[in-house]
Amino acid sequence: MSFKKLLLVSVSLLVAFFAYANLKVIRYQDFSGNVVDELPTEKACLVLGTSKYLKSGGENLFYKFRIEAAKQVYAAGKCSRIVVSGDNRHHDYNEPEDMRQSLVEQGVPIADIYCDYAGGRTLDSVVRFRHVFGQASGIVISQEFHNARAIYIGKANGVSLTGFNAGEVGAYSGLRTKVREVFSRVRAVVDVEVLHSEPRHYGEPIKL
């Protein structure tokens, strides 16, 4: 086989796998919704982390809308505990602490909020929700595209998640995130179906 043909076949296979991975994950959007009254009642919800501020210093609407959604789910009595899971790899950057403080400011009792400081990736957050926080089911809170990926990962790891969709960010503002999600779906499928990846850290169980 000539180099050109080999290259063409390789590119075609790569494109096909990207399409397969994205279609596989996207279909899990069917397991999330926007109406809080339609959610099941669970012990805990899992809020997936993101930075509070943009690199420019402006407000991150993905963060703002997730906090508002978590408050809405909690206030509706759909969960009695909130696990905020995110990145905490640097001493001056702490997504879980930021989310906890924002939820307290929204009126959620601090005693009902639990920080997962090892949620550097969505896979880590979802798997630790079960193995560290002891939840085999729950409500996951993020934007719809992110919820779909979390639910897919959860199903493969024995965690039954229902998504509650936080508000969407405008097409222009969220374009970079949406493009990145295309690659994140591929990585999720590789993690689940090829590598059988596990969280970077587990740690001692935390009772909710």
pLDDT tens digits for range 76-120: 999 999 999 999 877 778 999 999 999 999 999 999 999 999 999
What average pLDDT does this structure show over 8-19?
93
pLDDT tens digits for range 121-143: 999 999 999 999 999 999 999 99
SS3 20: helix
Q: Write down all domains in the chain, each with its CATH number in brackets.
A: 23-195 (3.40.50.620)
What's the order of all strands across the beta sheet hosting 137-142?
32-33, 160-165, 137-142, 44-48, 81-85, 113-116
The maximal CA–CA distance of the chain, rounded, in angstroms, is 66
Cα–Cα distance, 165 to 69 (Å, whole number): 7
